[in-house]
């Protein structure tokens, strides 16, 4: 059975373990470096060929999502009406438990004991596979990387490339060891050539595609005016799941809605360039309810909140709901590149995860969640890369303030004592005394809070004989 | 033009030579810079750690110290960015309309040194002489919050005797990040070690940047590695003469 993120330690602790894994560091640096270079090339191409360039496209994408979010109440009702008209059954789920319960009851109603799955972040967010397993239903991941993660009883470490932390030798070993237990075994002469590995996965998966009665998907976008769901993918395995089964169940976060068909235009141009570094993704599947005689004849759509209305109520943080899960912010993040995704303890890792998890789940009750807004040097590379202009550094700072506010009133930590003392000293400084006071405070902080953390791998510069303000006063600003 | 030096708390206590260099440089360029002694800190350490209430009094001190100046010059891109982009946030939190107005008046006048030299004084050749090989690390806040662009490189390229070497992956963060450096020390050091390797590979004698906070971190790693590379603030190179 697959592993779970439940009970992960706070980021600094999880990161320490991952930083020691030199193979992981190499895999990540290679993979993110490659995607970064491809993306940069395509952004430059848009700059040269589109009016207003990449910036204009980002503005258009952000505006489309922002417009939908600010009228979400109306968009969702429009979407429900359009879906119902097109023959789909719409369900509303407040949280993971409700959504999992709906999926389970639909699967059971058809007497099925397995489902095939399109790669989907939201079903991982709600722990659908585990919930189905508890009811005796097998959920088969069909995205190649998700299959690697599932077979390896591993956890995803990247939004787009969940097995980014694995190299091909590791993947060959996982296939040889585990495929037989899950279905068709890998051929005994399996090599670690990418095409050979992909062929083994194809044989293994095809058996499941042809057998499964029920498919489960998420959606990249949901068009309110037409009731159309959109899945964007690279392999075609998603297309198989969306067309072959008799029954299709799609779990859709309510922030996935866009108002109109035309709104897809900027988003479908931004997404592949930002995620895989391609002009266009190989497979874009769009379906509107049930089409008689073609594809699944029973279509269910579960519209899921699970913290999204909480995030929407956050004035600064709500922009995180614009996210189109491209993972450009992961690929440019210097913290992610060194720790990998597991350290974030969530299916949403990296800079977007550092804001999305606290926004969806709230701060002040879980040290792991509270550690995430601090898992950033605030370098700003994520904001620069984001195709829908999410100002991640500003949201991080705002979430930090919410973490601090949530803990006000209890026993203060050494950090709080130090920063409050610093603030008091800095607010009430009296000229000359300030320099020494600041230095003393710095030394106190270094001894009590940060000394070993700083000096275990870094030297501190020697303290100067006099502060700047002492020098200014002694020499009249250098004039004597 | 009345010009104030905002030396920053870190430079005041730990790097007075950087402040002295700004004074020397600006006087040489005909600017009679003043040092308002009531100044303390830009409040960024509080804001970026989440202590917004605590930051209010610090910002109050800041705007009262620098009220009435035409320009506030600082040898720190990060502190300039804090004043320009975060003080409004703190003022909003205070709910004090007076503080909001004061911040609106002061924060747009804050200029990082290279911005002040290139945009306000209109100079790139400041008459400096520095006979060393140098590599330049563009700090994240100079690059992405202030957008100083290539101003520091323009200034460095006009320094006589100076050889400027390209730093690979220059725009990658060094890993300092304020309290990030202690709250996530292991990740911070891993980033710093990669940055230090890049610096060593250039073969430069000196690493220069517009922020001593980043330099104290990278320099701390370089020093621990006995790398023999010095870290020097941009102001000190621009102030140096034959």
How far is it, in rounded angstroms, from Cα B72 to Cα B95? 25
Looking at residue A6, its pLDDT comes to 83
pLDDT band at B20 (very low <50, low <70, confident <90, very high): very high
Whether domain A55-308 has CATH 3.40.50.10420: the reply is yes
Looking at residue A453, its pLDDT comes to 80
pLDDT tens-place string over residues B141-177: 999 999 999 999 999 999 999 999 999 999 999 999 9
Indicate whether A430 pLDDT > 60.
Answer: no
Residue B213: strand, helix, or coil: helix
pLDDT band at A1 (very low <50, low <70, confident <90, very high): very low
DSSP codes joined into one string, A24-71: HHHHHHHHHHHHHHHHHHHHHHHHHHSTTHHHHHHHHHHHHHHHHHHT
A379, A429, A460: residue with CB nearest B173: A379
State the ipTM, two decimals. Answer: 0.97
pLDDT band at A426 (very low <50, low <70, confident <90, very high): confident
Looking at residue A420, its pLDDT comes to 80
Number of H helices, E strands in chain A: 23, 10
Min Cα–Cα distance to chain A from B203, Å: 21
Looking at residue A451, its pLDDT comes to 66
How far is it, in rounded angstroms, from Cα B41 to Cα B83? 10
Min Cα–Cα distance to chain A from B221, Å: 5
The conformation of residue A156, written as its DSSP 8-state character, comes to -
How far is it, in rounded angstroms, from Cα B92 to Cα B88? 6
The answer to whether the beta carbons of residues B3 and B32 sit under 8 Å apart is yes
Residues facing A217 on adjacent strands: A250
% of chain B surpassing 70 pLDDT: 100
Q: φ, ψ for residue A140 (rounded to 5)?
A: -95, 120
pLDDT tens-place string over residues A190-199: 999 999 999 9
pLDDT tens-place string over residues A252-290: 999 999 999 999 999 999 999 999 999 999 999 999 999
Distances from the Cα of B164 to the Cα of A147, B115, B169, B195, B214, angstroms: 49, 20, 15, 17, 19
The pLDDT mean for chain B works out to 97
Mean pLDDT of A319-345: 97
Collect all residues of chain A within an 8 Å Cβ-Cβ radius of residue B57. Answer: 423-424, 426-428
Looking at residue A307, its pLDDT comes to 98
Query: Would you state the structure tokens that stand for residue A195, as one six-digit string?
Result: 């095409």
Indicate whether A2 pLDDT > 60.
Answer: no
Indicate whether A432 pLDDT > 70.
Answer: no
pLDDT tens-place string over residues A173-231: 999 999 999 999 999 999 999 999 999 999 999 999 999 999 999 999 999 999 999 99
Looking at residue A446, its pLDDT comes to 60
Looking at residue A457, its pLDDT comes to 87
For chains A and B, CB pairs below 8 A equal: 212
B37, B191, B192: residue with CB nearest A431: B37
CB-based contact A403 B189, cutoff 8 Å: no
By C-alpha distance, the chain A residue nearest B33 is: A477
Collect all residues with Cβ–Cβ distance below 8 Å to B37 and sequence separation of at least 6: A431, A432, A469, A472, A473
pLDDT band at A78 (very low <50, low <70, confident <90, very high): very high
Looking at residue A419, its pLDDT comes to 78
pLDDT tens-place string over residues B64-107: 999 999 999 999 999 999 999 999 999 999 999 999 999 999 99
Domains with residue ranges and CATH for chain B = 3-120 (no CATH), 133-239 (3.40.50)
Burial of A206: CB neighbours in 10 Å, binned 0-12, 13-18, 19+: middle
Looking at residue A448, its pLDDT comes to 59
Nearest of A87, A21, A58 to residue A342 by alpha carbon: A21
Sequence ranges of the domains in chain A: 55-308, 416-475
Indicate whether A444 pLDDT > 80.
Answer: no
Collect all residues of chain A within an 8 Å Cβ-Cβ radius of residue B183. Answer: 12, 374, 415, 453
How far is it, in rounded angstroms, from Cα A14 to Cα A8? 8
Min Cα–Cα distance to chain B from A363, Å: 13
- The residue ranking higher by pLDDT, A3 or A167, is A167
The answer to whether the beta carbons of residues A419 and A412 sit under 8 Å apart is no
% of chain A surpassing 90 pLDDT: 82
Collect all residues of chain B within an 8 Å Cβ-Cβ radius of residue A33. Answer: none
Dihedral through CA A184, CA A187, CA A193, CA A199, nearest 10? -40
Looking at residue A436, its pLDDT comes to 60
The conformation of residue A221, written as its DSSP 8-state character, comes to E
The pLDDT mean for chain A works out to 93
Place of tokens 């089964």: A245
How far is it, in rounded angstroms, from Cα A210 to Cα A241? 9
């Amino acid at each position: 059975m697959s592993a779970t993120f439940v009970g992960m330690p706070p980021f600094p602790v999880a990161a320490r373990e991952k930083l020691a894994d030199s193979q992981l560091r190499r895999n990540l640096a290679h993979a993110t470096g490659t995607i970064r270079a491809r993306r940069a090339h395509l952004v430059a191409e848009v700059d040269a060929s589109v009016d207003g360039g990449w910036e204009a496209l980002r503005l258009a994408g952000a505006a489309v999502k922002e417009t939908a979010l600010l009228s979400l109440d109306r968009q969702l009702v429009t979407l429900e009406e359009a879906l119902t008209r097109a023959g789909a059954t719409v369900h509303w789920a407040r949280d993971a438990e409700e959504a999992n319960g709906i999926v389970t009851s639909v699967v059971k109603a058809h007497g099925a004991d397995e489902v095939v799955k399109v790669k989907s972040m939201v079903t991982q967010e709600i722990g659908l596979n585990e919930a189905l397993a508890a009811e005796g239903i097998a959920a088969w991941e069909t995205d190649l990387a998700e299959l690697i993660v599932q077979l390896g009883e591993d956890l995803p470490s990247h939004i787009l490339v969940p097995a980014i932390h694995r190299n091909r030798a590791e993947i060959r070993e996982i296939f040889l060891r585990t495929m037989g237990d899950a279905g068709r075994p890998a051929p005994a002469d399996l090599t670690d050539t990418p095409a050979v590995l992909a062929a083994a996965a194809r044989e293994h998966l095809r058996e499941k595609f042809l057998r499964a009665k029920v498919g489960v998907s998420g959606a990249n976008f949901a068009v309110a005016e037409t009731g159309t769901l959109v899945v964007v993918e690279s392999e075609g395995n998603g297309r198989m799941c969306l067309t072959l089964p008799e029954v299709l169940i799609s779990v859709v976060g309510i922030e996935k809605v866009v108002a109109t068909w035309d709104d897809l235009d900027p988003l479908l141009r931004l997404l592949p360039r930002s995620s895989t570094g391609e002009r266009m993704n190989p497979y874009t599947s769009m379906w509107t309810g049930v089409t008689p005689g073609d594809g699944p004849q029973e279509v269910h759509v579960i519209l899921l909140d699970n913290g999204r209305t909480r995030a929407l109520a956050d004035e600064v943080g709500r922009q995180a709901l614009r996210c189109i899960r491209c993972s450009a912010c992961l690929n440019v993040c210097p913290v992610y590149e060194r720790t990998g995704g597991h350290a974030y303890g969530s299916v949403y890792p990296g800079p977007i995860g550092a804001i999305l998890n606290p926004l969806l789940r709230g701060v002040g009750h879980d040290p792991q969640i509270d550690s995430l807004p601090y898992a950033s040097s605030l370098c700003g590379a994520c904001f620069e890369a984001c195709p829908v202009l999410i100002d991640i550094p500003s949201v991080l700072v705002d979430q930090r303030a919410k973490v601090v506010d949530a803990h006000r009133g209890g026993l203060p930590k050494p950090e709080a004592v130090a920063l409050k003392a610093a603030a008091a000293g800095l607010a009430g400084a009296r000229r000359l005394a300030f320099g020494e006071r600041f230095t003393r405070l710095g030394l106190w902080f270094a001894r009590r809070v940060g000394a070993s953390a700083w000096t275990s791998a870094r030297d501190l510069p020697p303290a100067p004989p006099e502060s700047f303000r002492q020098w200014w006063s002694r020499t009249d600003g250098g004039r004597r | 033009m009345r010009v104030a030096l905002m030396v920053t708390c870190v430079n005041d206590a730990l790097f007075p030579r950087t402040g002295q260099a700004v004074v020397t440089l600006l006087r040489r360029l005909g600017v009679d810079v003043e040092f308002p002694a009531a100044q303390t800190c830009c409040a960024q350490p509080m804001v970026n750690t989440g202590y917004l209430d605590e930051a209010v009094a610090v910002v109050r001190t800041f705007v009262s110290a620098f009220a009435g100046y035409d320009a506030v010059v600082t040898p720190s891109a990060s502190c300039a960015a804090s004043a320009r982009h975060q003080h409004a946030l703190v003022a909003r939190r205070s709910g004090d309309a007076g503080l909001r107005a004061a911040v609106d008046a002061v924060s747009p006048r804050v200029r990082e040194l290279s911005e002040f030299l290139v945009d306000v004084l209109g100079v790139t050749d400041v008459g400096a002489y520095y006979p060393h090989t140098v590599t330049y690390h563009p700090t994240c806040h100079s690059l992405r919050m202030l957008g100083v662009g290539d101003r520091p490189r323009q200034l460095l390229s006009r320094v006589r005797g100076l050889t400027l070497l390209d730093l690979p992956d220059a725009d990658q963060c060094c890993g300092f990040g304020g309290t990030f450096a202690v709250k996530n020390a292991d990740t911070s050091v891993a980033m710093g070690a990669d940055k230090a390797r890049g610096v060593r590979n250039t073969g430069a004698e000196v690493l220069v940047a517009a922020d001593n906070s980043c330099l104290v971190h990278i320099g701390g790693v370089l020093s621990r590695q006995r790398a023999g590379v010095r870290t020097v603030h941009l102001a000190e190179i621009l102030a140096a003469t034959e």
